[in-house]
A = this chain, B = another copy of it.
Amino acid sequence: MMIHNLFTQVTQASDSEVFETLLQTEAFKLERVVSTGQATPPGQWYDQDGDEWVVLLSGSAGLLFDGERDIRVLQPGDYLYIPAHTRHRVEWTETGVETVWLALHYTTGHSLS
């Protein structure tokens, strides 16, 4: 039984967000994302075919949903459900710390296309 830690330093030297699949079956994918100040590029939106449940575990971030005026600020422990095709963008993530997300991607059906 191997024990790992979600907050372990991400050793990859990168200016990008770091995505790591922790677990994957036909029905879902569990992913860790580590952000260090990145945001969704201007004018771009996430528009996902599957549903997502996501929790922010360290750092902080601002999420904007299409059609909403206010940016939602996420603090450690904050989680939400994002239905498929709910357009959203990450307006900002905190700089100087690692913002660690845990995202569960799934479909109510049985495969992730």
Contact = CB atoms under 8 A, between A and B. Distances in A.
A46 interface: no
Contacts of A8: 77
B104 A4 contact: no
A contact face: mostly helix, strand, loop, or mixed? strand
Contact of A1 (B30, B72, B76, B106): B72
Q: For the complex formed by this chain, how many copies does it contain in all?
A: 2
Interface of A: 1-8, 22-23, 25-28, 30, 53, 55, 57, 65, 72, 74-82, 86, 102, 104, 106, 108, 110
15 contacts: A2-B80, A4-B79, A5-B77, A5-B78, A5-B79, A6-B55, A8-B77, A25-B27, A25-B106, A25-B108, A26-B110, A27-B106, A27-B110, A28-B106, A104-B104
